[in-house]
């Protein structure tokens, strides 16, 4: 089990720069937990004492308003992780995390992670690199919400998800409702824009898998229109 876990951790951005011995040590420290579809993995303001890595399934990171409206900050799949801020600042969780489908997660306790960081600068550097990447992505998202109309935000989201997957096909099955909650729009507006994208042959959709057929057109549409 430990060897298998170490192999898996090598696919996780936070750990993939580590050598085999270090991956083995982390593998020995993690434990696996199962969460059925729809279950809450973390509540906002819960104590932040662990890092989570998605080994199987998908989860969403959300904020829920007083009126019950849900804003999706991110959808995370296999090899993606959450909770890393708690490893540094000891602050409560900043959002809810909910299983979108049956999910298996690896859990690493803050105390165990910190001990490894103190003994291995490579681990600390990997964490800094990953946090920097996420901060840049957050800055881009904020800029898009401010400067882009809804079709532009959708184009930007599709390009970002394609970049994350490393191909023109987005494997994360996203409903129009999920996209709407990710970009701050209504489902109806997203549906209209996606139909326009399909009619223009910019994207193709099959079983909720989205393929970018005309990346240059989407890139142009994702530019701010001032």
Binning the chain into helix, strand and coil, the percentages to the nearest 5 are 45, 25, 30
What's the mean pLDDT in 195-214?
A: 91
pLDDT of residue 63: 86
> In this predicted model, which residue has the larger pLDDT, 49 or 145?
49
Using alpha carbons, select from 124, 143, 146 the residue that is nearest to residue 135. Answer: 143
Helix, strand or coil for residue 16? coil
Please state the pTM of the whole predicted model: 0.74
pLDDT of residue 102: 96
* Average pLDDT estimate for 45-65: 88
7 vs 138, more confident: 7
Whether the per-residue pLDDT at 1 is higher than 70: the answer is no
Classify domain 148-221 at the CATH topology level: Arc Repressor Mutant, subunit A (1.10.10)
Kindly report, residue by residue over 121-169, the tens digit of the pLDDT: 777 787 788 778 777 777 777 766 677 899 999 999 999 888 877 788 8
Backbone angles phi, psi at 151, to 5 degrees: -60, -35
Q: Smallest Cα–Cα separation from 200: which of 163, 170, 155?
A: 155
Nearest to 80 by CA among 6, 3, 14: 14
Please say whether the beta carbons of 30 and 65 come within 8 A: no
Domain with CATH 2.60.120.10 in the chain: 2-139
Give the Cα separation of 179 and 158 in Å (integer): 10
Cα separation, 2 vs 106, in Å, equals 12
Q: What is the pLDDT of residue 184?
A: 85
Strand segments, DSSP code E, in 77-217 are 81-82, 96-99, 103-109, 169-170, 203-206, 209-212
At how many degrees (to 10) do helices 121-147 and 150-165 cross?
A: 160
pLDDT of 136 reads 78
Q: What is the dihedral of CA 105, 106, 110, 115, to 10 degrees?
A: -170
Residues of the chain with CATH 1.10.10.10: 148-221
Tell me what pLDDT residue 224 has.
62
What confidence score (pLDDT) does residue 193 get?
A: 95
pLDDT in tens, 81-132: 888 877 777 777 878 999 999 999 999 998 888 888 888 777 778 778 877 8
Helix (H, G, I), strand (E, B) or coil at 176: helix
CATH class for the region spanning 2-139: mainly beta
Percent of the chain residues past pLDDT 70, beyond the cut:
95
Share of the chain above pLDDT 90, in %: 37
Summarize the confidence of residues 30-41 as an average pLDDT: 95
Q: How far is CA 118 from the centre of its chain?
A: 27
CA–CA separation, 84 vs 26, rounded Å? 15
Residue 226 pLDDT class (50, 70, 90 cuts): very low
């Amino acid at each position: 089990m430990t060897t298998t876990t170490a192999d898996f951790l090598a696919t996780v951005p936070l750990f993939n720069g580590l050598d085999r011995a270090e991956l083995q040590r982390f593998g020995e420290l993690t434990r696996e937990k199962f969460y059925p579809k729809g279950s809450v993995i973390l509540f906002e303001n819960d104590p932040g004492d662990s890092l989570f890595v998605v080994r199987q399934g998908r989860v969403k990171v959300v904020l829920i308003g007083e009126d019950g409206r849900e804003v999706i900050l991110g959808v995370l799949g296999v090899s993606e992780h959450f909770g890393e801020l708690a490893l540094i600042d000891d602050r409560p969780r900043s959002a809810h995390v909910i299983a979108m489908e049956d999910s298996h997660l690896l859990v690493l306790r803050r105390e165990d992670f910190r001990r490894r960081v103190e003994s291995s600068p490579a681990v600390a550097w990997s964490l800094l690199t990953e946090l920097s990447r996420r901060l840049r992505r957050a800055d881009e998202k904020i800029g898009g919400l401010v400067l882009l109309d809804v079709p532009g935000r959708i184009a930007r989201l599709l390009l970002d998800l394609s970049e994350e997957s490393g191909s023109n096909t987005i494997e994360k099955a996203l409903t129009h409702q999920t996209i709407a909650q990710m970009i701050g729009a209504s489902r109806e507006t997203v549906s209209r824009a996606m139909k326009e994208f399909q009619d223009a042959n910019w994207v193709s959709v099959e079983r909720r898998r989205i393929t970018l057929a005309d990346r240059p057109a989407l890139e142009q549409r994702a530019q701010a229109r001032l």
